[in-house]
Amino acid sequence: MSATPSSLSQATVDWRLPYRGRVGMLCLIAAETGIFSIFVVAYLFYIGKSVTGPMPKDVLELPIFISVCLLSSSLTVHLAVKSLARGRLAGFQVWWFATIVLGLIFLVGTAREWHRLIYEKGLTISTNLFGTTYYSLVGLHASHVTIGLVALSIVMTFALLGKVKPEHAERAEVLSLYWHFVDVVWVVVFTVVYIA
Amino acid sequence: MASDAIALTPARVASRPVVEVLHDWLITVDHKKLGLMYIGYALVFLMIGGMEATIIRIQLMVPHNTFVSPETFNRMFTMHGTTMIFFMAMPVMFGFANYLVPLMIGARDMAFPRLNAWSFWMTAFGGLLLYFSFLGGTGLYGAGSAPDVGWFAYAPLTSRAFSVGHSTDYWTLALLVSGFGSIGTSINIVATIVSMRCPGMTLDKMPLLVWMNGVMASMVLFALGPLSAAQIMLLIDRYLGGHFFDTQAGGSAVLWMHFFWIFGHPEVYILVIPAFAFVSEIVPVFSRKAIFGYPVMVAATVAIGFVSFSVWAHHMFTVGMPSYGNAFFVLTTMLVAIPTGIKIFNWIGTMWGGKLRFATPMLFCIGFLFQFLIAGLTGIMLGAAPFNWQLSNSYFVVAHFHYVIVGGIIFALFGAFYYWYPKMTGRILNETLGKWHFWLFVTGFHLTFDFMHVPGLLGMPRRIYTYEPGRGWETWNLVVSIGALFQAAAILVFVYNLIASYLSGREAGSDPWDGWTLEWSTSSPPPDYNFAVVPTVRSRRPLWDSKHPEDPDWKYE
């Protein structure tokens, strides 16, 4: 046993492992993928199985503008993280803020769409199977956008207080991974709900 | 090295106020304390779930028994299943993973200590919610109490119309909340294994326990999502008037079955792979040989992980599927037998020609090997669709999955308790009591679950609260119930041993079993910081290397 310290502590060169925050976020994304997959499957499975109307084609309109906004926000958050990594703090704040604004526009758009569906078209979550699956799937996504916006805003607050430094770029990137995931999910939701 | 660690450990303060100690445990983010809390929490639920099982067995001991009412009986089997799977088996496996993974990879703590604490408290809160249903389940409707819909809660029984009051809501919320906890801790386990290994510990040098817990945690990530999604849908149905599982509005009850079993079958492997992990660490140490076929063991574990996600509908053969659906799920189910069989051969290969030491941990592992094999064989029987049509929902199924969970998982778990208890407490569990525990439990287990197959074959369905005399079921049920009493006695011996050995057990020292993995290189119990010096490893058995510098493993690997 006395020989242990020497043989257990030989230095090896260049021991680098992946950043734990990145691994953790990828794991969270894996778990979220499971949740979203089930909601997507339920939506697809119940297409055309509603006993009463309204049906999707009667009430849905393509949300092109807000989709463009949300997808663009992936680009802005990427540019923000790049700016931070290169030490351009002003650039980081501008792009980060743009991401929040674009996300907010998306949420407002979703809210307007729901308002129209509920008050003009009479479609609620309990109206029929389409309503149940539509509001759950889109709502699950919108709740993820909301959580993302809260997280982005917290970072924005710290940035305005001057607490976000270039050495935090790796952490900001972890949050941007989540935001990219939310965008990718929207591509899937858009495809199955508005196109399929 | 061990003496270094001890020397650096601050002397224990003799007596601190109880409140202060409790406060320490309440706010802790230390992986060892959280691991022990997971394990202690699971043991409490083991006792509760065991009492529920005992009530079930007393009720079924003789025909026309009136020990409990039919309603209570339904609550007992629902609570027994839910408790044992979600609040006993999963937390105890997470507890061991939390405690052992950082120690075995030479890390200071988990990757995200605060997430770890959050996950534990979510799980704890979920368990409290489930049991609060005994008080709160009545709700405003004045109906219902604890959940009584079975542990897989098939639709439409869970709809508002058939499940009044709040009992089902407590069930679904408890599973949702503890599910988030499970996801949190699994994220932590994977991130810890990927990012926190000590220098030199490449993936092919990780202890098998770490590998297998990594696979288990990855499976949790993919399996708990569908469960959580299904629970959210059930809540939407029950609270917002949704129609996911509402057959009157075009919804599908079968969809719930798919969603539940997409989680439910991987869940079995989520529980059994950590059991494999224990056996893969204990068998080599008590055979004095390195594990046989390490790369194959890793490959087989990963293969089981993948295949287990494609077998779920073998729980649904009697629902009626197209013939190619049946064929697919029969074949994938049979496929599981290949990697599992490889593992069994590898453990036997490890023991073959070894210098076997039949200490209590090893006894439990040998019990595991035999019983898990039989459990796998009845699994193959039930995996064949025509056989399944005959015996689905009978006591044969109950006997089969208890053979897996008790005969396999629980036996390996007890082995793990005897093996790592010295590390966790600094004391060795009493061997004489351990032998009593083992033989009482083996006797009780076989009395209960061997003979439980027979009433199943004779047509006794599961979940009936009583039965008519004269069907040839009486003797079998009586024997099964007597076996349950033996098991209860064994558990009491075990709990007594845990307490008595903690108070006055033999001092363990840092390495009581002459082990080979890093956790045995630090003191027992380990200091807060685990390792005074970050270890560096060169082989799969770093302590073998340090104990035998003339013949280290890394020369051969």
Q: Is residue A14 part of a domain?
A: no
Residues B340-357, mean pLDDT to the nearest whole number? 96
Q: Is residue A36 part of a domain?
A: yes
How many residue contacts between A and B have a Cβ separation below 8 Å? 160
pLDDT at residue B143 is higher than 70: no
**How much is the pLDDT for B5?**
46
Owning domain of residue A154: 19-50+64-195
Query: Distance from A139 to chain B by nearest Cα, in Å?
Result: 12
Determine phi and psi for B338, rounding to 5 degrees: -70, -60
Interface check for A146 against chain B (CB to CB < 8 A): the answer is no
Interface check for A16 against chain B (CB to CB < 8 A): the answer is no
Chain A hits for B243, CB-CB cut-off 8 Å, are: 126, 128-129, 132
DSSP state of A69: H
Hey, what CATH topology would domain B2-9+25-555 get? Cytochrome C Oxidase; Chain A (1.20.210)
Chain A hits for B115, CB-CB cut-off 8 Å, are: 24
Q: Which two tokens stand for residue B496?
A: 């007594």
Rounded Cα–Cα distance for residues B457 and B461 (Å): 10
How many structural domains does chain A have? 1
A135-151 per-position pLDDT tens digit: 999 999 999 999 999 99
Q: Is residue A12 part of a domain?
A: no
**Among candidates A8, A36, A49 on the partner chain, residue whose Cβ is nearest the Cβ of B542:** A8
Residues B58-79, mean pLDDT to the nearest whole number? 94
The answer to whether the Cβ–Cβ distance between B537 and A8 falls below 8 Å is yes
Nearest CA in chain B to A32: B225
Q: Is residue A144 part of a domain?
A: yes
DSSP state of B68: S
The answer to whether the Cβ–Cβ distance between B222 and A128 falls below 8 Å is no
Strands (E), B65-207: none
Chain A hits for B250, CB-CB cut-off 8 Å, are: 46, 49-51, 128-129
Please state the pTM of the whole predicted model: 0.93
- What are the residues whose beta carbons fall under 8 Å from the beta carbon of B330, sequence distance 6 or more? B314, B383, B384, B385
B357-386 per-position pLDDT tens digit: 999 999 999 999 999 999 999 999 999 999
Q: Which two tokens stand for residue B123?
A: 């799980």
- CA dihedral for B364, B365, B370, B373, sign (positive or negative): positive
Model confidence at B557, pLDDT cuts 50, 70, 90, reads confident
Model confidence at B140, pLDDT cuts 50, 70, 90, reads low
Query: Distance from B238 to chain A by nearest Cα, in Å?
Result: 11
Query: Distance from A15 to chain B by nearest Cα, in Å?
Result: 6
DSSP state of B461: B
What are the Cα distances from residue A90, in Å, to A79, A130, A151, A160, A172? 12, 46, 19, 10, 15
DSSP state of A147: H
Residue with tokens 């220098």: B199
Give the type of residue at B374: I
The answer to whether the Cβ–Cβ distance between A31 and B183 falls below 8 Å is yes
Among candidates B305, B123, B294, B317, which has minimal Cα distance to B204?
B294
Give the type of residue at B464: I
Q: Is residue A160 part of a domain?
A: yes
Task: State the average pLDDT for chain B.
Answer: 93
Domain containing A117 — which CATH number?
1.20.120.80
DSSP state of B145: -
Q: Is residue A40 part of a domain?
A: yes
**How much is the pLDDT for A85?**
95
